[in-house]
Chains A and B, each alone.
Chain A
Amino acid sequence: DVKVTQSSRYLVKRTGEKVFLECVQDMDHENMFWYRQDPGLGLRLIYFSYDVKMKEKGDIPEGYSVSREKKERFSLILESASTNQTSMYLCASSSTPVTNYGYTFGSGTRLTVV
């Protein structure tokens, strides 16, 4: 089974802190994605990557950056955390841009910024 592992289930950070969310997949997938999920808004795409060292902005990239130095790892960085970035963050991966199964998701990181 494809496994997508997010390093933290819950995080509490202070306003202005630099925050790193880590995601690792173990199935040699080329494509990785970061979403945030908020009540009533669904999942919104922040950034994605189709290859190592490659990154593309999604629909809501402001306030975020990403890093993909290795194929299996995709990190989301909040440069200066703000309270409006309190959310559930979901990492996903796939072997092609969209497979017959859509994406495989991690369990999520619930981030609270105080």
Chain B
Amino acid sequence: EDQVTQSPEALRLQEGESSSLNCSYTVSGLRGLFWYRQDPGKGPEFLFTLYSAGEEKEKERLKATLTKKESFLHITAPKPEDSATYLCAVHSFSGGYNKLIFGAGTRLAVHP
């Protein structure tokens, strides 16, 4: 069964303290892995798409990487405005249709 697991569930960082969020997945034939950012009371907003092992994408303080079993979202020198829930999703074709399977997310809090 296709599955996405994110860790940790919650992460508290001091401003400037770099860290990584993990997304491990089990899917038959990865067609894409997506990272989203979700602010409280809002819908997820797209950050990155990764398609193959070894691929990396960067945006400001964020860098996403992909291996055959997991993806990492690295946050370098975070600021309080990076506080949000970060969601990972994989594109799966199962049950006869395409769908995104989401992890439960990592709640990130960055304190000044």
- Min Cβ gap B42→A in Å is 5
How extensive is the interface on chain A, given as a class?
A: 20 to 34
Contact pattern, B 1-30, Cβ under 8 Å of A = 1, otherwise 0: 000100001000000000000000000000
Question: Contact residue range for chain B?
Answer: 20 to 34
**Contact residue among A44, A97, A105 (Cβ-Cβ distance under 8 Å from B43):** A105
Classify the interface of chain B: helix, strand, loop or mixed. strand
Q: List 29 A-B contacts (CB under 8 A).
A: A39-B104, A41-B104, A42-B4, A42-B102, A42-B103, A43-B87, A43-B102, A44-B102, A45-B99, A48-B97, A56-B97, A58-B99, A92-B43, A98-B31, A98-B99, A98-B100, A100-B32, A101-B34, A101-B46, A101-B49, A102-B32, A102-B91, A102-B100, A104-B46, A105-B43, A105-B44, A107-B41, A107-B43, A110-B41
Q: Which residues of B contact A (CB under 8 A)?
A: 4, 9, 31-32, 34, 36, 41-46, 49, 87, 89, 91, 97-100, 102-105
